[in-house]
Structure 1
Amino acid sequence: MSNPPTSAATDQQLVAQVLGGSPAAFGHLVRRTEGLVTQVVFKMIRHPADRPDVAQEVYLKAFKNLAGFRFQAKFSTWIGQIAYNTCLHYLEKKQLVLVDLAEPAPGDAAEEGRRGPPTLVAGPDYDPETSLFDQDLAGILGAAVEQLPPLYRTLVALYHQQELSYEEIGQITALPEGTVKNYLFRARKLLKQRLLATYHRDDL
C-alpha cells in the first residue's frame, strides 16, 4: 500500500501517486498551482460567470493528460500552458480579441532595455506598503490593468504577481522571449499613457 501524499512530496512524486490511483495527490497538485491558474483565467476571461467553468476545464485536461507529462518543464509551467491554451480557445469561440497589435505603443523592447520600464508598474520586489503607491493608488493601478487587452493583463500578472521569468512566460504562452519583453513594454507604456490621461501626474 502506497504512502498517503503529503505537502512535502515533490511534484514528480505526486504525479506518480495520481497515476497510481490517488485522488488526494491530485488535490495537492491543484493547491500548488491554483494561484497561477487563477491568475491566467481571471486575466484572460473577463466574464466572471465563465471563469469557474474554464478553471475546471483546465484541471480536467491536466488530469486526462497527466500520463503524457514527462517533466521536460516544471509541472506549474505545464499547467500554465494548459490554462493559457484553454483560455485562448474560449476567446476564439467568443470571437474576442486577445490583443490589438494596432494599438499605438511608442518604442520597443530595445528602448525598454536602455531606459528601464515605466515606474507605474513595479518589478517582482514591488511592495505597495513601502513604495510610493498607497492602497488607494494600488487600487487605481489594478483597475487600470484590468482595462488592458487580455494578453497584456496576463503577461503583467505572470511577470509582476507570479514573478515568472521571461523564459517561463514564453513557455506558457508559446511566445518568444523577445516578444514577451516587447508585449510587456507595450502593456506598461499603454498603462502609463492611460493613467496619465486620467489623473494628474502629481496624483500618481
Structure 2
Amino acid sequence: MQTGPADNEIINKVLGGEQALYAHLVKRYQNFVFTIVLRYTISREDAEEIAQDVFVKAYRSLADFRGESKFSTWLYTIVTTTCITFLRKKKISVHSLDNEHIFEVADNQNATFRANQVEQKSKAQVINEAIKLLSVDDARIITLFYQAEQSLEEIGRIIGVDPNTAKVKLHRARQRLKEKMEKHYAEEVKDMVG
C-alpha cells in the first residue's frame, strides 16, 4: 500500500515548480518499473539503464499526464515503449503471445532451472521466476494485474482490448503460469500449499 501524498498531489506540486518532489514518485515506483523492465531483458545492467531512461522520459512528459487513469498505468505505457525501443536498437526480437516457440524454449530449460533451485526460495521469488517463463504478453498481463494492481478496465486500455477480453487473457495467462509453476517449481509449490 502506498503511504504519503497521493500521486496526483505530487505531480501537481512537481508541475508547480517543486521538482525535487519527483524523487518521491521515483522511489514509489522504482520496483514496479524495474520488475516490468526485467520482463524484457535479462541483463541487470540494461534493466537499470532502461529504468533510469523511463523515469527521465516520465519526468519530461509529466505535463501530459491527464489523470484519467492511475499514474502507474500511464507509467507502464512509458516503460513498455521504452523497453521495445531499447530492444529494437539492440536488434533483439520481442516475442508475441502467438509465438509458441517461447514455450518450447522454456520447457527445454527445465534442467537449468532445476540446477538453480538449490536454495529454498520465497513465494514471491518462485512466482517471479515462473513469470519469466511466460511469453511477454502473458507476463505483462500478470504483472499489471497482480503487481501493478491495475483493474481489468485499465489493463484493457493498456493492451488495447475491452475489459472482458482482458479478463479472458488474464485467465489464460494464470493457467499458463500455474502450469509453469507445477512443471518447473513443483517442490516449492508443494511447500507453499502444505
Asked if TM exceeds 0.5, the reply is: yes
The answer to which structure has the higher helix fraction is 2
CA distance in 2, matches of 1:197, 1:67: 46
Indicate which of 47, 50, 56 corresponds to 2:52.
Answer: 56
Aligned residue for 1:26? 22
Structure 2 residues without counterparts, runs of 5 or longer: 102-119
Measured on the aligned residues, the alpha-carbon RMSD in Å equals 2.9
1:17 and 2:13 correspond: yes
When residues 22 and 175 of structure 1 are mapped into structure 2, their CA distance, relative to the original with a 3 A threshold, is same
Structure 1 contact 39–158 (Cα < 8 Å) conserved: no
> Alpha-carbon deviation of 1:41?
1.4
Indicate which of 85, 98, 103 corresponds to 2:100.
Answer: 103
Indicate which of 81, 85, 104 corresponds to 1:85.
Answer: 81
* Residues 148-163 of structure 1 mapped to structure 2, 5 A cutoff: 148-163=134-149
Residue deviations 1:117-137, cap 9 Å, x none? Answer: xxxxxxxxxxxxxxxxxx658
Q: Sequence identity, in percent?
A: 34
* Residues 154-193 of structure 1 mapped to structure 2, 5 A cutoff: 154-193=140-179
When residues 32 and 173 of structure 1 are mapped into structure 2, their CA distance, relative to the original with a 3 A threshold, is farther
Q: Which has the higher contact order (CA 8 A, sep 6+)?
A: 1
Structure 1 residues without counterparts, runs of 5 or longer: 1-6, 105-134
Give the SS at the match of 2:10.
helix
Give the SS at the match of 1:31.
helix
> Alpha-carbon deviation of 1:141?
4.3
TM-score (norm. length: structure 2): 0.69
CA distance in 2, matches of 1:58, 1:48: 15
Q: Say which one has the larger Rg.
A: 1
Structure 1 contact 18–26 (Cα < 8 Å) conserved: yes
When residues 175 and 84 of structure 1 are mapped into structure 2, their CA distance, relative to the original with a 3 A threshold, is farther
TM-score (norm. length: structure 1): 0.66
When residues 154 and 102 of structure 1 are mapped into structure 2, their CA distance, relative to the original with a 3 A threshold, is closer
CA distance in 2, matches of 1:10, 1:137: 31
Give the SS at the match of 1:148.
coil
CA distance in 2, matches of 1:159, 1:181: 10
